[in-house]
Structure 1
Amino acid sequence: MKFIIASSTLLKQLSALNGVIVSNPVVPILENFLFEIKDGGLTITASDLQTSVTAEVSVDADEDGGVAIPAKMLLETLRNLPEQPVTFKVDDDTYSVEIISENGHYKLAGENATDFPKVPELKQGQSVELSSELVNTAIAYTLFAVSTDEMKPAMNGVYVNIKEGKAIFVSTDSHRLIRYIRTDVSSVGSETAIIIPRKALALLKNTLPMDNTPLTLSFNKSNAYFSFGNMSMICRLIDERFPDYENVIPLNNTNILEIDRLEFIGSLRRMSIYANKSTNQVRLKLTENSLEISAEDIDFSNEANEKLHCEYTGDDLEIGFNAKFLIEGLSNVSSRHVVFKFSEPNRAAIMNPSDVDASEDLMMLIMPVMLNSYY
């Protein structure tokens, strides 16, 4: 088997797929990219058994065939080659792979393509058409709040609920909860709810174009299949019941704060320098049109406070938060101002960006921390 391809074209495709490959996989051949040629088209696959990503690209090939090529060596070779056509020659008996460039000749040991695990096929599933922009936005808003606690598998992914032309994306790690709703989604027929794993969404985020490229999401009870452009990805869904998140959203939030997002982030970052390193606790003291932010690390006699102008209506309120969670939430929205809604010092706060499109709704819920008595 022999084929010719531009080095930059191949490197771009392999770089997009490389994120799925893990070190020391259960099946050793999964340290390889699977190359398959059929009718002048090259299909490249990477897999970790839970998630498989495939890219298709045209090549100049003389015959059909397949081989598994070591991912790390191939990527490092291509990264250090200047842009040029490269020729791959595969020995069908020994699976050795020769790479021929303008000035070099490289040989590495491949493996039999038939030993590579088969990518599962999606059967009897539903489908919905989305734009890559919508999926990119949903991932950006929710991925950072996905739990990494393996003892809570239901929260190790993003909950996606599609119904009546509406898509709801939810993530939580018990300390914060993100809910992102889009109403510009084509109906999928019957209502569906799935949990997509964190790794699959991170891979999507790194491979999806930032424009309105159409994306097809197909799914059944066990797998989700994403198809866009020349790429596709299939992943195993998390088979757990997602927490009943709606019950933790507080009602009757009569204390309303509106503030410049970047000013608030800057102040929180400065306060976190002086906060206790294990709790990252900051205190917000709210009075009419005034916000005082303070932090203290009593073990090292460090303390700091700042006052920011804001628009605040409601009762005077003192409430504590982990500065890291506030900063992450504020950093993942783009509007100039944000609105916080509070009820009680021991109840969660709700944050919304002040500027959103008519077709979307974003809510970030952040749990408070118990305030220390030494303030």
Structure 2
Amino acid sequence: MKFIVSSSSLLKQLSGINGVITSNPVVPILENFLFEISDGLLTITASDLQTSMITEMEVEAKDSGSIAVPAKILLETLRNLPEQPVSFSIDEETYSVELSSDNGRYKLAGENATDFPKVPVVSDGYTVEISSDVLGAAINNSIFATSNDELRPAMTGVYLNLGENSTTFVATDGHRLIRYRRVDVVAETDNSIIIPRKALNLLKASLPMENTNVTLEFNPANAYFKFNNVKLICRLIDERFPDYENVIPADNTNHMSINRLEFLGSLKRISIYANKTTHQVRLKITGSELQISAEDLDFSNEANERLLCEHDGDDIEIGFNARFLLEMLNNLDSQEITLQLSASNRAGLIVPKSKDDNEDILMLVMPVMLSNYA
């Protein structure tokens, strides 16, 4: 079997799906790309059993066939080749792969394609169309709040609740919670799935710059994303997601509005002086003034700043993990944000003052107990 392809075009396609491959896969053949050729179309598959990505490209080929090609050595070869046509010759009896370029010849040991695991097919599933811009925004606004705790698998993914009027993306790690809702993404029937973080990170990285339609098909076991010449199939997390609506406090009588970038800049400076274990910063709101302070008693470090804000409610003092606040504020675009509070021992809500008509963003962060320094 032979085919000819542009080295840079092939490298671009392989780089797009290479993130699926793990360094220590469950079965050794998963260290390979699966190449399948039919009617001048090369289909390339990468998989780790949980997640698979497939991409297609046209090549010069008269034959049909398939081979598993070592991913790492092929990628490194292509990265170091200047742009040129590369010829692949595959011996289907010994599974050896020979690359010929203007620079020379390179021989790799391939493997039998029949040993490569079959990619699951989504049958009897539900389908919804999402634009890549909306999907990208939803992933960006939620994925950072997923948990790394494998003992709570449901929290290691993003919960997607599809409804007839809106679609909600939710992520939480127990310390913070993000609820991102879109009214421009609707489904015919109500459904909910939990998509693993790895699959969403791969999806985010491969979404095109220009807005395009993404088709999402899913059944209780797998989700299947398709756009342009790329397909991503992932196994869903089969767990019960926490009842997040009950966690969101409804009676927040304290509302503080502030310039997001000023607040963000101040937090970045103050957090340098916070304890490196707790990352605790103290927010003290009195009238129209916000005082942000931090102290690390172990090293006698302390800092405080004052900012002007709009405040409606009683004076309040509350502690938060600075890293969580910074991550949340970094992921918002709004010039002004509102911090909604009820008590110093209850969760705070961050909501943007300006947002897209089709979206609704709510970010919840749990407080930390304040240490008794003045």
For 1:217-366, what aligned pairs fall within 5 Å after superposition?
217-366=216-365
SS at match of 1:338: strand
Instruction: Give the length in aligned residue pairs.
Output: 374
Amino acid at match of 1:287: T
Q: CA deviation at 1:210?
A: 3.1
The residue number in structure 2 matching 1:121 is 121
> Per-residue CA shift, 1:57-116, capped at 9, x if unaligned?
111112100100000000000111111111111011111001111121111100011110
Amino acid at match of 2:237: I
> Per-residue CA shift, 1:210-248, capped at 9, x if unaligned?
332100000000000000000001100000000000000
The residue number in structure 2 matching 1:147 is 147
For 1:91-240, what aligned pairs fall within 5 Å after superposition?
91-185=91-185, 187-240=186-239
Within 2, Cα distance between the matches of 1:58 and 1:277? 53
SS at match of 2:317: strand
Q: CA deviation at 1:165?
A: 3.6
SS at match of 1:122: coil
Within 2, Cα distance between the matches of 1:8 and 1:274? 47
Q: CA deviation at 1:274?
A: 0.7
Q: Does structure 1 conserve the Cα–Cα contact (< 8 Å) formed by 2:39 and 2:62?
A: no
Q: Does structure 2 conserve the Cα–Cα contact (< 8 Å) formed by 1:136 and 1:210?
A: no
Amino acid at match of 1:312: H
Taking structure 2 as the reference length, the TM-score comes to 0.99
Within 2, Cα distance between the matches of 1:310 and 1:297? 26
Q: CA deviation at 1:204?
A: 0.3
Within 2, Cα distance between the matches of 1:359 and 1:181? 8
> Per-residue CA shift, 1:226-275, capped at 9, x if unaligned?
00000001100000000000000001111111111111111111111111
Q: Does structure 2 conserve the Cα–Cα contact (< 8 Å) formed by 1:154 and 1:195?
A: yes
Q: Share of identical aligned residues, percent?
A: 64
Within 2, Cα distance between the matches of 1:146 and 1:211? 27
Within 1, Cα distance between the matches of 2:249 and 2:188? 31
Q: Does structure 2 conserve the Cα–Cα contact (< 8 Å) formed by 1:157 and 1:238?
A: yes
Amino acid at match of 2:294: A
SS at match of 1:295: strand
The residue number in structure 2 matching 1:3 is 3
Q: CA deviation at 1:311?
A: 1.2
Q: Does structure 1 conserve the Cα–Cα contact (< 8 Å) formed by 2:126 and 2:217?
A: yes
Within 2, Cα distance between the matches of 1:87 and 1:165? 52
> Per-residue CA shift, 1:42-66, capped at 9, x if unaligned?
0000000000000011111121001
Q: Does structure 1 conserve the Cα–Cα contact (< 8 Å) formed by 2:6 and 2:85?
A: yes
Within 1, Cα distance between the matches of 2:327 and 2:129? 30
Within 2, Cα distance between the matches of 1:126 and 1:300? 57
Within 1, Cα distance between the matches of 2:229 and 2:59? 14
The residue number in structure 2 matching 1:50 is 50
The residue number in structure 1 matching 2:79 is 79
Within 1, Cα distance between the matches of 2:313 and 2:345? 16
Q: Does structure 1 conserve the Cα–Cα contact (< 8 Å) formed by 2:278 and 2:321?
A: yes
Taking structure 1 as the reference length, the TM-score comes to 0.99
Greater CA deviation, 242-251 or 306-315?
A: 306-315
